[in-house]
Amino acid sequence: MIMDSDRTRKMGTDCWKRGSEAAAKQDWDFAIQMYGQAVAFVADNLAFRQTLRSAEQKKYGDNKSGAKMATMKLLPVRARIKKAAGKAEWDAVDKAAEEGLAINPWDARINSSLGEACRQRGYTDVAIFCYQMAAAGDPDKKDHWQTLAGLEEERGNYQEAATCWKRIQKLDPLDGEARSKLSALDATQTMDRGGYEKAENTREMKTAYDADRPNRSAARESVETPGENLEADLHRTIRRDPTDRDAHLKLADLYKREGRLEEALKTLQQALEVSGGDANIREVVEDVELDILKDNILKAKEVAAADVENAQAKKNAKKLAQELIHREIEVLSSRVDRYPADVKIKYELAKRFMRVQKYPQAIPLLQRAVADSRIEADVLVALGKCFISEKKNSIALRNLDKAITLIDRGTQSELACEVHYLLGRLYQEAEETKKAEDHYNEVLLIDYEYRDALQRLEKLQDG
């Protein structure tokens, strides 16, 4: 049985897909309606918010001011936001802010209010996006940059956090907090120095995060002839024809191979837009987003390891890991719908459900994946573990008994050891002593120190 949260996410994904189809036809009103419903269903999904805001901006022809008489129309919205924020009713703030941004998606105060509502509920990625929009709308307001810096640091984006603090330092050279924060971030050795000085607002800041490489590329492009540098050639191709999807994809692939994931993601998002929302490109975007998240987790773990007393660093790393598994479930669920015959995707999704202890969701996926003989043994073991967790030991036994006949002890010794141990536990609990002893003996033949197998065997033999 699918839990309500999973069903809601699927409904959100369906709405988002319909919105993307409408956006490809430039039917902005219907696209905004569908994207808005997707956001209402899944408030913490960054891609849903980004596409909604992009559609709203396109509806107004990127005029940076929104609807006619937007200032007057926003007065009651601002009052509702203020009232809800005063009561810490963050869901209500979110709803009112989205209504306001449908009138003027560039409004800095409303973007900031939405960012705070998302921050309070732990939607860090969305909060970062909202504060970036707020800082773009009002680049001289320190509060936006301070909050954004804190969120970027929490996310493990130390270079981006430093960029924000340097912006604050430029606005207020006497800001002591900015100086101390920059020193602390420099000590982590995780940020790329330089690049900020070239950014005067958040539109430039998006490229200034990794400014050295693009600027070096631009310098090379100015002196190199076509054919000497692939990156420069692709940039020239895109400038000549911004709708050249293949050129965007080739450039993104180049960035990926060089480990420049942020640049790859930005380029892929451009490819997705010019393609009219091509599903294949969307999947590549999702893969790069996951790679960036994994990279941020590694950085957060490095910071936590370097300072074992830093409880916040450990908390950040754990939170990022939780967000990764949550996002992986979202992505894989969508792909299961798109590729219903691909049992390997079902198996991968089932493993993620198991990691968050959603065994009832994992079991039916595994039961379908067991048909693939290449992964049959692994799937049967996973099924056994799920049924053990669900207190259905007799079914677990049948799956594990079958799995052990498929496992090659020579090449899969670790898996064989685990399965024999689980079978020993199950038979011991069922008071089938002889079978339990046999399986514990098999464990010891492979690994004499495996868990507590020796102690369990001795206890059974002692009666």
271, part of any domain: yes
Residue 259 CB contacts under 8 Å (≥ 6 apart), including other chains: none
Does residue 381 share a domain with residue 308?
Answer: no
- Out of 338, 370, 400, pick the residue that ends a domain: 338
Does residue 231 share a domain with residue 294?
Answer: yes
CA–CA separation, 260 and 75 (whole Å)? 43
- Out of 273, 303, 338, pick the residue that ends a domain: 338
**Structural domain boundaries, residue 298:** 213-338
Angle between the 376-389 and 393-406 helix axes, to the nearest 10 degrees?
160
Buried b (16+ CB within 10 A) or exposed e, 161-170: bbbbbbbbbe
Q: Which candidate, 388, 343, 389, 341, places its Cα nearest to that of 366?
A: 343
- Out of 304, 338, 372, pick the residue that ends a domain: 338
223, part of any domain: yes
Quote the pLDDT of residue 215: 44
CA–CA separation, 436 and 429 (whole Å)? 9
CATH number for the domain that contains residue 383: 1.25.40.10
Does residue 334 share a domain with residue 217?
Answer: yes
Does residue 397 share a domain with residue 323?
Answer: no
Quote the pLDDT of residue 221: 42
Reported as a single tens digit per residue, the pLDDT across 343-381 is: 999 999 999 999 999 999 999 999 999 999 989 999 999
C-alpha separations of 277 from 23, 51, 228, 292 in Å: 8, 10, 32, 21
Q: Which candidate, 374, 405, 372, 370, places its Cα nearest to that of 386?
A: 370
Does residue 310 share a domain with residue 265?
Answer: yes
Q: Are 335 and 364 in contact (CB under 8 A)?
A: no
286, part of any domain: yes
Reported as a single tens digit per residue, the pLDDT across 208-222 is: 334 344 444 444 444
291, part of any domain: yes
Q: What is the DSSP string of 347-385?
A: HHHHHHHHHTT-HHHHHHHHHHHTT-TTTHHHHHHHHHH
Does residue 439 share a domain with residue 387?
Answer: yes
pTM reported for the whole predicted model = 0.58
Q: What domain count does the chain have?
A: 2
With 80 as the cut, is the pLDDT of residue 183 above it? no
318, part of any domain: yes
- Give the residue ranges of DSSP H helices in 258-341: 261-274, 279-306, 311-338
257, part of any domain: yes
pLDDT-based confidence at residue 99 (cuts at 50, 70, 90): very high
